[in-house]
Structure 1
């Protein structure tokens, strides 16, 4: 039986022998679609696993059920949360994000960022850490401190901030850990135990894994499951469809297209630190080494979006989703009050194709999202419910944590007498710019 460390090294060796290191590099804008022949043998297995419903307790749910390849690996329906479990009748707790552009996500950290470093620069997911035996810890502990003020175009402030990790709460450091979590979560693919999952993998993929990793993999449940999770991570890391960079904005950055007047106005508002200030978190410029922008700084924010009654868990008035503080994250980070209510900033790539927005899917259009940013502080009655004539502001976060909500960065922090930071015309222009972030652009679309 191989040790975990041995399994990891053999996995890496197998990958390197099956594909060049360049297989995981970002494609040039406009590069032709990638075929299965371009994938390593490990990633090819991962592609098969991704669409295989027999790996779920229901026998009807695969990764692709929620991460539809036809919708940029995001849900194709407009449910706030997706249904899973043994009978596909258990609702999740959060909106399912897209799996595109996850390769650049760094592991979760909580510490001081170097203010002289290139904003938004992140290392690709490390292959060596995604083989069998990769660590399964959630990150270091830290004392909670206020997050730094964010301004578009400014370098990160030298203050402790949570950053990186996968899921809305960063509880997985690698794509491998993320895959394992989904396979066993009771309201997702819901495998009851490792033995059951290993048996399914052995029956359908035992020969293919044995060819790559040796015959002993069939008899070692842990090794088999770890290699399967690694294969899923390799598929997401290698396959260009997870990071195509084929949006109109990519073409603009390459000098192959121009923004329309409305799109150009929208980008200016997106960047303006006194107006949209969107680029403070959703970085829209190339990194120092020329990598395309990811449209996220991978950091965490408490925005105070309204409670979503469409989430079944919210029928319980005592239930609350605190992001970094649980209910799905359980470590030292989750015990720090200063982290409660904070969720990871998602990439805005392909945002115009999404059906629900924010961690709780409370909004179903970009128009609603921009209205929230414009009016949350200047006109809160337009955003939050009232009960018995009393405004229930920040109704999805207990009062003791509401000090974590960002009230300083534009477009927030405006009193009613100040008016909205963004007019309706401004909001429409920003939406026009956001629509340029959808992959699959062709000049003939104009």
Structure 2
């Protein structure tokens, strides 16, 4: 079953013909010419985010794969048990897992510094920023399947409510040119994605930092383990520049690492990761590397890894533990009953980061899971499993 879209009251009114253009602004039919429509570019972007008319068959919106009731991830399980998203035609599917859009606003633009590549959207950073990312699924022929930029702009400008808003917020006639119009559509959606809706910083961990909540014994043990350089070193890749007490920490270094994630048996095995980013020009030294995701809302936005190969968060930690355990029994994937698969690109494997610390017993693994659950925004805490 497809995820139900959740358009705003304004969008519902516009679709029902209750809004018209008068004097260059949107007004309710039969009322005086007063601005009552989109209050900002972000409000315009919100309407677009939920609008299925931006897909070829009118069945899919941004919110279909990034459901606000599911951590802005895809809760559907109709393509490879939810590992990837089903396309707008109900048949095609992507080859990578749809990541959460929560806290995506904190991802820096794709760039290279002295340590390597950093930032960018999608798992391989091929979208430079949020605005670039927002438009690409509309053109993807396994996703929203629109023919070209002109088709997307035509769908938007067919609605007078939208056209008036773009004229007001961007430039008069901006939708007359497909390239400029398409860019403005991406900017509007990005403006919505930069709002507090996507980044409320309201988790139990945030409340603990503010002295408004207490971590229980399991959560505290998991916190200590997570930040420990002796036991796990998770924070090496899952901590930004602000440090342990940063109230705006998103638990990622925004960099690219090859952690040896096994191939998903139902997906194309030859996924080169960062090496597929055109800006990297096919550098084989980047094969198998993917951008470190945020860990905020991680407990409610599975399945996990770039290919959705793991259904359970505990399995992810068990997988990391294979680099430090000598026990063959601890190298078994509990979801399949078989050993974890080999790394598809062993030549770039980040062994220096992965082979670190002692093997973890079940109690410490459970403690890490407990801590990761504390990173769940308050609005999603009801989704947490016991």
Shorter-normalised TM range: 0.7 to 0.9
Query: 1:257-268, aligned counterparts within 5 Å?
Result: 257-268=213-224
Matched, 1:180 2:135: yes
Contact 2:54–2:152, Cα closer than 8 Å, also in 1: yes
Query: 1:349-368, aligned counterparts within 5 Å?
Result: 349-368=296-315
Contact 1:384–1:393, Cα closer than 8 Å, also in 2: no
Structure 1 residue 71: Cα displacement:
1.2
Contact 1:182–1:189, Cα closer than 8 Å, also in 2: yes
Matched, 1:348 2:348: no
| CA distance in structure 1 between the aligned counterparts of 2:63 and 2:196, rounded to whole angstroms | 16
| CA distance in structure 1 between the aligned counterparts of 2:177 and 2:244, rounded to whole angstroms | 44
Query: 1:258-297, aligned counterparts within 5 Å?
Result: 258-283=214-239, 286=242, 291-297=247-253
Query: 1:290-329, aligned counterparts within 5 Å?
Result: 291-311=247-267, 314=268, 319-326=269-276, 329=277
Which of 159, 163, 166 is equivalent to 1:206?
A: 163
Contact 1:52–1:62, Cα closer than 8 Å, also in 2: yes
Matched, 1:429 2:374: no
TM-score, with structure 1 as normaliser: 0.70
Contact 1:248–1:442, Cα closer than 8 Å, also in 2: no
Contact 1:56–1:190, Cα closer than 8 Å, also in 2: yes
Query: Which deviations, in whole Å up to 9, do the C-alpha atoms of 1:173-225 show, x marking residues without a partner?
Result: 21111112111111111111122111101102223222334542342222222
The gaps in structure 1 that reach 5 residues or longer are 1-36, 113-159, 386-390, 415-419
| CA distance in structure 2 between the aligned counterparts of 1:349 and 1:428, rounded to whole angstroms | 18
Structure-2 change in CA distance of 1:440 and 1:287 (3 Å) = same
Structure 1 residue 60: Cα displacement:
0.4
Aligned residue for 2:42? 43
Aligned residue for 2:93? 91
| CA distance in structure 1 between the aligned counterparts of 2:226 and 2:322, rounded to whole angstroms | 16
Contact 2:258–2:350, Cα closer than 8 Å, also in 1: yes
| CA distance in structure 1 between the aligned counterparts of 2:70 and 2:332, rounded to whole angstroms | 31
| CA distance in structure 1 between the aligned counterparts of 2:289 and 2:71, rounded to whole angstroms | 25
| CA distance in structure 2 between the aligned counterparts of 1:304 and 1:384, rounded to whole angstroms | 15
Structure-2 change in CA distance of 1:368 and 1:208 (3 Å) = same
Matched, 1:54 2:33: no
Query: Which deviations, in whole Å up to 9, do the C-alpha atoms of 1:375-409 show, x marking residues without a partner?
Result: 24535675479xxxxx8962533xxxx13101122
Contact 2:55–2:61, Cα closer than 8 Å, also in 1: yes
Structure 1 residue 274: Cα displacement:
2.5
Secondary structure in structure 1 of the residue aligned to 2:374: helix
Query: Which deviations, in whole Å up to 9, do the C-alpha atoms of 1:233-262 show, x marking residues without a partner?
Result: 11111x211000000000011111111111
Aligned residue for 2:85? 82
Pick 1 or 2: higher relative contact order, CA cutoff 8 A, min separation 6: 1
Structure-2 change in CA distance of 1:409 and 1:435 (3 Å) = same
Query: Which deviations, in whole Å up to 9, do the C-alpha atoms of 1:106-148 show, x marking residues without a partner?
Result: 1112221xxxxxxxxxxxxxxxxxxxxxxxxxxxxxxxxxxxx
TM-score, with structure 2 as normaliser: 0.80
Structure 1 residue 59: Cα displacement:
0.8
| CA distance in structure 1 between the aligned counterparts of 2:171 and 2:264, rounded to whole angstroms | 49
Structure-2 change in CA distance of 1:299 and 1:212 (3 Å) = closer
Matched, 1:191 2:146: yes
Identify which range, 289-298 or 195-204, moves more after superposition. Answer: 289-298
Contact 1:285–1:292, Cα closer than 8 Å, also in 2: no
Q: How many residues align?
A: 336
| CA distance in structure 2 between the aligned counterparts of 1:66 and 1:242, rounded to whole angstroms | 15
Structure-2 change in CA distance of 1:224 and 1:173 (3 Å) = same
The gaps in structure 2 that reach 5 residues or longer are 1-35, 334-338
Identify which range, 69-78 or 253-262, moves more after superposition. Answer: 69-78
Which of 178, 187, 197 is equivalent to 1:221?
A: 178
Secondary structure in structure 2 of the residue aligned to 1:91: coil
